Amino acid sequence: MLKQLANNRLELLDFIRGIAIGLMFIFHLSFGLNEIGLLNIDFSQDYFWISFRALIVFLFLMLVGVGLVLSKNNKNKTFFESLLSKRLALLFTYMMLITLFSYYVRPQHYVYFGILHLIFISSLMGRILINFSSVYLGIISFIYLLVGLNLDSSQLNHPLVYWLGLGNKPAITDDFVPLFPWFSLVVFGLILGKYLVKSNTVKQKINKWKAQSWFSKLICWAGKNSIHLYFFHFQFFYFMIWIINF
C-alpha cells in the first residue's frame, strides 16, 4: 500500500503545498514592500502576520513529514543512501545559495537558518524516526514543542548552536525557523502520513481528488515545483529590495 501511494503523486497534497507557496509569496511581497516604506508593518509584533507566517511554516513542515512517509519504498534505503538523493542535494544547494545571496544583499539580516535549512535537516532526522510508532512520534513531537516554547538560555546564544532555537536573544535575520519547536510539525506530519497509509477510506478520498479548473491546476503545478519557486521568488524579493535601496 505504501509503495502504491509513493508511486502515484497525490494532487491534493500538491494543492495544499501550492497554497503554502502562494501564501509565502504574499508574505514576502508584503515584507519587501514594508522594507521600502510602502507598507508600515511590525512583523515581529503584529499578531496577524505572526499567525500568517506560522500557518505557512506549519503547512510546509507538516507536508515534509507526510512526504517522507509516502516516499518510503520497499528498498528501505539506509540513512547514508538517503544523503545521496537528488532532492536533498537540491535542498542543500538552494539553502546555501540563499545564505550567500542574503549575506551579500543584507549582511546584517542574512538568512543562516531559514525554512529550507530546517527542511533539509528535518528530511534527514525524519528518515531516522520514520519507523517509530505513532505513539512514540507523538511523544517526540510534544517534547520538541514543549522544550521549544518553554526553554531558553543565554548559554545557547552562541552562533554554532543558535539554530536550535533555545537561545534567549531575538534572531536578527530575515528568516529564522529553528529546530525547536518547529521540528515538532515534521514529526506530526509523519504521524499523519502513517494514518494516511493505514486508512483505506482517507486514502481513497485523497486519491480521487483531482484538480479541475485551470486555477486549481496552476496551484498543483506550484506545489509540484515549490522548492524551485521558493528559491527563485526569495532571490527576486531580495533583489527588488536591493535595487530600490541602491
Tens digits of residue pLDDT in 91-100: 999 999 999 9
pLDDT tens, 149-176? 998 888 888 888 999 999 988 888 888 9
Average pLDDT over residues 73-95: 69
> Is it the case that residue 178 has pLDDT exceeding 80?
yes
> Is it the case that residue 14 has pLDDT exceeding 90?
yes
pLDDT at 169: 87
- CB-based burial label for 7 (10 Å; 0-12, 13-18, 19+): exposed
pLDDT tens, 121-139? 999 999 999 999 999 999 9
pLDDT at 155: 87
The ranges assigned to domains in the chain are: 13-245
List, in order, residues 6 or more apart from 39 with CB less than 8 Å away: 30, 33
Whether residue 188 contacts residue 145, with contact meaning beta carbons closer than 8 Å, is answered with no
Q: Which of 51-60, 71-80, 108-117, 152-161 has the lowest mean pLDDT?
A: 71-80
Whether residue 32 contacts residue 242, with contact meaning beta carbons closer than 8 Å, is answered with no
Say how many residues make up the chain.
Answer: 246
User: How many C-beta atoms lie closer than 10 Å to residue 122's C-beta?
Assistant: 25
pLDDT tens, 187-234? 999 999 999 888 777 777 787 888 889 999 999 999 999 999 988 887
List, in order, residues 6 or more apart from 81 with CB less than 8 Å away: none
